[in-house]
Copies of this chain bind each other. A is one copy, B any other.
């Protein structure tokens, strides 16, 4: 019966799209995953490796016997092999590489030569080009002789005799225009192209802005070397959004939901450590004022409010600035404007909400001076939060770092320390 079930499973799996298979594997507990994984044919298994998330891919590779791994990696296109080669033991990659023919080896090399996050790393060698000297009828002949068009081909790239990109000929024009028309007369010359060295995130922005489906990649002399397609770009954007959200929460990267708890715990240690360190430093700021708190214990209850309001409003500013940087909306020219505005917003909110909280504190503890100190501390900490909230992502960006990573920690650390310091300092000066 068990064998019958397996046969049924195998038949069902064969009909599924590789992306669906990858998804099924992601959501299965690790033991069940291995059952499904073992039943996949090499071609399907290779596609699943390509489609699954980094953490799950690494795990699958580690769980697969070397001969099977070599066999299934051999099923991949050379650029796809290069794409996932980081997850595989270099020796095994070398073994697969040996089995490729010379053209495939050179494709593998040219993909692996470009770093992760560059256009070169994402581009594909699959494209169709036509010479600019031909007429449409001749171009159509060429395409027919080729017998195949790669997916996402909305246009053919037009090149001259030296393979330099001259324009793009849409399939639409190839279909609709007179066969006797010249390619060079019909083609559009207004083509967005990229170089392999360009950052993938810049290319992705161009894809979004100009609604591109596929774009040519050219080297520094303008020669056509590859093609970047929208599916790869969407994939890149999704992975980027994902890692951004996780980075902001201090997770090293995608975490396999079914990794052992021990692995997950260690994955989060760096952040926990940083967090403990900053919390400890903020605690030392409070320690400086222990005698003041001893004299007026209400301060202990009120001080977290000052810190928390600063942290939250500062994080709003951080989110706005990061978004502005990501969308290229913040330039050198308008940063000063934003800074002034956030400062003003901080002042206004500080005045309004400082008053509200000050009144509440004064009423609760029956002390007008305490209310005044509370209001002043909130006002000042919101100004600090606005300044630091603008400065931190901008400085990180200027240092060449990802502004999303660490902005929040640095901001909260500052607003905590400053919040405690301002509030307790004012209290020591005016209240006790």
Contact = CB atoms under 8 A, between A and B. Distances in A.
Nearest to A305: B279
**Binding site secondary structure of chain A:** helix
A337 B258 contact: yes
A300 interface: yes
A255 B338 CA distance: 12
A27 interface: yes
Contact of A307 (B255, B304, B329): B304
A309 interface: yes
Interface string A241-277: 1101110111100010110011011001101110110
A284 interface: yes
Interface string A11-43: 000000101100100111100000000000000
A329 B271 contact: no
Given A210-B19, A276-B305, A149 B176 contact: yes
- Choose among A144, A262, A313, A337 the residue with the greatest number of B CB atoms under 10 Å from its CB: A313
A333 B329 CA distance: 43
Interface stretch (A75-83, A93-101, A150-158, A159-167): A150-158
Q: Please classify how large the interface on chain A is, using the bins under 10, 10 to 19, 20 to 34, 35 or more.
A: 35 or more
Nearest to A171: B171
A333 B257 CA distance: 13
A231 B272 CA distance: 40
Contacts of A275: 308-309, 312-313
Nearest to A51: B209
Interface in A111-140: 140
Q: Which 7 pairs across A and B sit closest by C-beta, in order of nearness?
A: A249-B319, A211-B231, A300-B300, A261-B344, A286-B301, A279-B308, A19-B209
